[in-house]
Chains A and B, each alone.
Chain A
Amino acid sequence: MNSNPLSNKKVGVIGAGSFGTVFANLLAQNRSVVLYARRTEEAERLERERTYKTWRLHDQVEITSDPEYLAGACELIFPVVPAQAFPGMLQTFSPYLKPYHRLLHATKGLHVVLNEGEELSQLKKLRKEQVLTMSELIKQETTVLRVGCVAGPNLASEIAEGQPAATVVASPFDEVIREGQQALRSTNFRVHGAHDIIGIELAGVLKNIMAIAAGILDGLGLGENTKAMLITRGLAEMVNIAKPLGGEVNAFLGLAGIGDLIATCSSPASRNYTVGYRVAKGESTQEVIKSMDEVAEGVRTIAIVRALAQTHKFSAPISLALYKILFDEYDIQKGIRLLMEFPYREDGELV
């Protein structure tokens, strides 16, 4: 596979959270890895103990908290940090990123360019040009053009255990897809390629909305019929939102779309699911958010979709109902009734 001997160069992972460490371990099966932890204490701890949560770090993983070192040692870099930390991470790394770097991120979130004094949850108007996916943000903030993303049903703990799983590497560049596949694939990890990077990124982002809804349904003690209804109509809604933003339908029929949607809607482990679950159990959104150390990305995404839908006039009934429940303290039962009465078009019609 590696026709070029230099492609055995080290690969970098930015972000030493649960997903970042799992990623580093996956990559370490093929290549030497440099893993970046922002805080020096965390880097030192990882170096000392070589474990994260329940899993051990692979011997081929080298830890650093020096961005210049990582950028100098690696051409292929995987940023795996939460969406809110992404702009800060780019600021840290941008002085060291060069046109030869290839960046493949695994972050599910959107960046919104707000005017001064604007509050995301209160936004009435939001133009699509103000909303950037992470790959668009990379291109805007750095000199790197060869970007890609990794998305799919990849719950960190299951991959850490070495259970069989699959993912998608998406990029407009064949070269980036090829390199991502070569670096990531292993006996228990399949890696598919795709060109529609915007579609794949949006699939990963928008499924968080449905994860919150799934948490609500479970919190209410509802059964599988309701969940299946959510997943099916949720998928159609995701496509409907992605279309005006430049995503294609196909991305949603693959691993990063329906695949990730099913995994996230069935797993109580995710932050988004937990938000929905606890709100359904009677806590207020503010209480839930305050008690979590990281913001559940789905909550922000709902506010973004609502503002976009109002501005660009597309329908997104599930997201709008969730907005009412989370931000307007709307009664959940009323929210569900609203959805049950929504005049959908013919079943199976995606857009």
Chain B
Amino acid sequence: MESVQHYITEGILYEPTVPNIYNWPIARLFRSKDRFLKEVIDETMEAVAQFAQRQNSSIEQLVAKTMYRERIRMKEDPWKVDPKDEIKFWRNIKKKLVAIDRIENDPTAYEKDVHNLLYSIVSRYANEIVSTFKPGTYQFAKRFLPFFFSTLLNASAGKTIRSIISHKVKMQERIHLMGETDMLRELSRIGTVVVVPTHLSNLDSILVGWSLSALGLPAFTYGAGLNLYNNKILARFMTRLGAYTVDRRKRNPIYRSTLDSYATRATIEGVNHIFFPGGTRSRSGEIEKNLKQGLLSTVIEAQRQNFAGEPRAQSEKIFIVPLVMSYHFTLEAKSLINQYLNRTGQEQYYTLDKESSDLVKIFQFIWTTFSKSSDIYLSYGKPMDVFGNFVDQEGNSIDRNGNTIEIKEYFMSNGELTKDHQRDDQYTKMLADKIVERYHAENYVFSSHLVAFVAFQMFKKNRKDLNLYSLLRLPEEERYLEVAPFLACIEAVHNRLKELNQEEKVNLPSHLRNEPSTIMEHGLKNLGLYHTKRVLKLTKDGRLFTDNMNILYYYHNRLVGYELESLVK
């Protein structure tokens, strides 16, 4: 394994934008972890009180509700990672709740008791969520991943031991970092960067995390599912790399508030952040349309607080960078689309499949990516402010006429900076809409997406009488397409994509600059390469045949949202 400097000289890693790792915001933050935690807890206490007020509820009621739900969770869905004293803790809360009732006629004592109860819950949650950052572990991971990828790559591409050791094939020939990467580096020096990627596969976080560190940016924090911490080795790594835990089982408002405050405070401290705003992997294979408002609202809140508080040189402005990942195949495609169809189709869809996702699969995926020369694109989009205005190299927000916008004024009324929860919720919605719009524009369409889209649409047009679920059960003898009309449709959709590309509404990789027949060939070769059976293949008698309508549908969905459907006749 080589040094970080070696990989920089090789062009695999960029020079870090902030050379001394101990000066990184994330490192600074965890050096004063106790202060940070206290701020998170204080902010949560206030947020919960305000939440109770908005809901016409009381803190006591929220505590009782949380306790009730937590007791159900512990009983119905216990995990290995759960602390041993959990049951005891909540039993204790229950005892104290009962005790409060008896002295309710003394308002100050009552308030103090309720406050203490809430405090113990919030502080327990905050301590569970918080992680740490170990520069040593970080540096190790940064060197290990290129080595690991590269070894795999050469092991699968070349057949000789020599080629494996010499690391001839470079990983950047497979993993393409596209878009505004230079600007991203610039902005990370000026303010705080929040990267919002699309989410298709479990592999995404590794790829995003690695690409950001390869770009030389100070480490990002991100929320990792607590379920991943069930694995001790993984847990050890993630805790030391600044990831914080997110427990999707805890749906109570106190936990959500703590999590939001954690994200807000970390952003205010200038720690770069990765949010997957779709919340979970896209089950249908479509680009995300509905984003989760909760975490997204924390960037608006952090920006507001940055303007309201003492300006810190490092963390004044927050930059939102959409990131769209394109793969020819998704490792979990089969189980994802099954989950999607199960949910949407209900009684109309039945299957026996279950998701089996493990490390072996990830290896298989990487192996296929490298051995079959399959490309992965990470498209870093145009950076925006938290209101969705594009920013320039200096971080200024620019309106459509090229003028600078003082975004602080969005938080102002009648000359004053105001706190208005309802207003900021609306701003969050607008930001979510803007991100979705940018996802479509920043997306790289692959040949495999194109052939899947056209093929599925042709099946659909052939059997207009069937609904989706019947169409997916199309009998084998009907799952053939003639090549000539297929190619004609490829050409029509391709022409439209070129127009959209001219209008900056979509990106096309170099392999989509070819003739339709070449694109078709490329697409058929790459579509769902990883799956045991080819998704779409040429038969001996010169027709196209699909073995798996579900997976075809999944890859087809990647092109939904561009209004291309009517071009397929």
Q: Which residues of A contact B (CB under 8 A)?
A: 4, 6-7, 9, 75, 94-95, 98-100, 102, 127, 140-143, 145-146, 172-175
Determine if B403 is an interface residue (Cβ-Cβ < 8 Å).
Answer: yes
Query: B539 within 8 Å of A by Cβ?
Result: no
Residues of chain B lying within 8 A (CB to CB) of residue A173: 422-423, 426
The contact sample of 9 A-B pairs, CB cut-off 8 A, is A6-B414, A95-B403, A100-B409, A102-B413, A143-B389, A172-B429, A173-B422, A175-B420, A175-B423
Complex: how many Å from CA A245 to CA B64? 43
Structural contact, B416 and A146, CB atoms closer than 8 A: no
Give the complex CA separation of A76 and B325 in angstroms: 43
Bound complex: CA of A146 vs CA of B426, how far in Å? Answer: 9
Asked if B405 is at the interface of the complex by the 8 Å CB criterion, the answer is yes
Other than A4-B413, A98-B409, give 16 A-B pairs with Cβ distance below 8 A. A7-B413, A75-B414, A95-B401, A95-B403, A98-B406, A99-B405, A99-B406, A99-B409, A100-B409, A143-B389, A145-B430, A172-B429, A173-B423, A174-B422, A175-B413, A175-B423
Closest Cβ of chain A to B410, distance in Å, is 4
Contact A99 B422 (CB under 8 A): no
Contacts of B401 in A (CB 8 A): 94-95
Interface of B is mostly: mixed
Are B387 and A145 interface neighbours, CB within 8 A? yes
Mask, B403-445, CB within 8 Å of A = 1, is 1011111101111100010110011011000000000000000
Write out the residue numbers on chain A whose beta carbons fall within 8 Å of the beta carbon of B429.
172
Q: Which 4 A-B pairs have the closest CB atoms?
A: A99-B409, A6-B414, A100-B409, A99-B410
Task: Please count how many residues in chain B sit with their CB below 8 Å of the partner chain's CB atoms.
Answer: 25
Contact B405 A6 (CB under 8 A): no
Q: With a CB–CB cut-off of 8 A, which chain B residues contact A143?
A: 389, 399, 405
Please, which residues of chain B bring their CB within 8 A of the CB of A99?
387, 405-410, 412
B414 touches A172 (CB 8 A): no
A100 adjacent to B423 (CB under 8 Å): no
Residue among A9, A99, A127 with the most chain B CB within 10 A? Answer: A99
Docked-complex contact B405 and A100, CB < 8 angstroms: no
Are A172 and B405 in touch, CB under 8 angstroms? no
**Nearest-neighbor residue (CB-CB) of A2 within chain B:** B414
The CA-CA distance from A127 to B562 in the complex, in Å, is 13
The interface residues of chain A lying within 8 Å CB-to-CB of B426 are: 172-173
Q: In this complex, what residue of B is CB-closest to A91? A: B401
Check if B563 is an interface residue, CB within 8 A of chain A: yes
Q: B384 to nearest A CB, angstroms?
A: 14
> Which B residues lie within 8 Å of A145 (CB)?
387, 410, 427, 430
| B387: chain A residues within 8 A (beta carbon) | 99, 145
Inter-chain contact A127/B422, CB cutoff 8 Å: no
Cβ–Cβ < 8 Å partners of B414 in chain A: 4, 6-7, 9, 75
Residues on B with C-beta less than 8 A from A75 are 413-414
Task: Give the shortest distance, in Å, between A172 (CB) and chain B (any CB).
Answer: 5
**How many Å from the CB of A10 to the closest CB on chain B?**
11
Neighbouring B residues of A7 by C-beta, 8 Å: 413-414
Q: What are the residues of chain B within 8 A of A174 when measuring CB–CB?
A: 420, 422-423
| Closest Cβ–Cβ distance, residue B416 to chain A (whole Å) | 7
CB-nearest residue of chain B to A127: B563
B389 to chain A, nearest CB (A): 8
Chain B contacts of A98 at CB under 8 A? 406, 409
Select B422's contact among A4, A100, A141, A175, beta carbons within 8 Å.
Answer: A175
Q: In the docked arrangement, what's the CA distance between A239 and B400, Å? A: 34
* Residues of A contacting B405 in the complex (Cβ-Cβ under 8 angstroms): 99, 143
Nearest B-chain residue to A4, judged by Cβ:
B414
Give the Cβ gap from A258 to chain B, nearest Cβ, in Å. 27
User: B residues within 8 A CB of A94?
Assistant: 401
Q: Select the residue from B399, B400, B413, B563 with max chain A CB neighbours within 10 A.
A: B413
How distant is B258 from chain A, measured CB to nearest CB, in Å? 26
Chain A residues whose CB sits within 8 angstroms of the CB of B403 once the complex forms: 95
CB closest residue in chain B, given A176 = B423
Tell me how far the C-beta of B406 lies from the nearest C-beta in chain A, rounded to whole angstroms: 7
Q: Which residue in chain B gives the minimum CB-CB distance to A146? A: B423
Min Cβ gap A334→B in Å is 32
Q: Which residues of B contact A100 (CB under 8 A)?
A: 409-410, 412-413
Contacts of A146 in B (CB 8 A): 423
CB-contact partner of B416 in A4, A95, A140, under 8 A: A4
Chain B proximity of A178: nearest CB distance (Å): 10
CA distance A172 to B563 in the complex (A): 28
